[in-house]
Amino acid sequence: MKRRALGVSGIEVSALGLGCWGMSGSYGPADESEAEATLRHALDIGVNLIDTADSYGDNGHNESLVGRALAGRRDAYVLATKTGWVKREGPDGKAAVGVDGRPDRIRSACEASLARLRVDVIDLYYLHRVDPDVPVEESIGGMAELVASGKVRFLGLSEVSEATLRRAHAVHPITALQSEYSLWTREPETTVMPACEELGIAFVPFSPLGRGFFTGAVTGRERIAPNDWRANNPRFSADNLARNIALLQPLEEVARAHGKTTAQVALAWVLSRGVRVIPIPGMKRRTHLDENVVAVELDLNSEELARLDTAFAPGAAAGERYTPEVARWAGR
């Protein structure tokens, strides 16, 4: 497995990481046994960047799963987790999402994550979203205290603006920035990616396969279960999904030319964006993992890259990437 530098941390990680959100039921039913086997298989084949969060699943389910699956193999992986998302009861009595970036809450959340993950230190600790009621300097200051106390090694941010990234970096070095980025989500190219390059920060794309869209698995609304996160996502509405599927022909043709899958080509395109780019596709099955790692060795030529750039120009995708409820927390 090829390696890439995790910012200027001195750590090298697999060029492709493993995103664990889907292992806790976000994209249809979860299979804990297969998820645990997938985590262990990842280490066996050299995929060593494991990405989770305290908000994935109920009551820290995903962190507990990761901790259980990888017990006894701590030296074999680089562990990234996140804090900041919280689930509260809304005015209608239903669960609602929010953010909490208070330093005291971050410290207590870190202790809980360490216990669930069964580790003494978190390699990369992200602020999952910026709290609009707490200056990012205060949140990062609290996280920096965790570094000083030896509970965290490096800090990251997720889904922030360039201005916020720079403010945070001035308080404590930011090692990685995680943002949605793929053929159909290209906004970071003109916002945060240049700043990451300038500051020596790793750029970690999540959903590099368009939440499964570029795998070819979602060919219609009937392929999305009612409890699947995508069921309410604008890009997967019936009208928008039909328009987005119509964009796929160039990707399919490039894939056929190489004898590869559309997922492998879509990941190869993301990997081509720079040596500091480390995508973390969500993978909850060993078969998906084995398929996706092939992308690390797939080199697309300049003509193919240009063709994909044109076919999936910024703004080409139909539909917003989040519902308004979730979108308000992104890009602060």
The catalytic residues are 56
Non-local CB neighbours of 265 within 8 Å, separated by 6+ positions: 251, 254, 255, 258, 295, 298, 300, 308
State the virtual CA torsion across 50, 149, 147, 123 in degrees, nearest 10.
-10
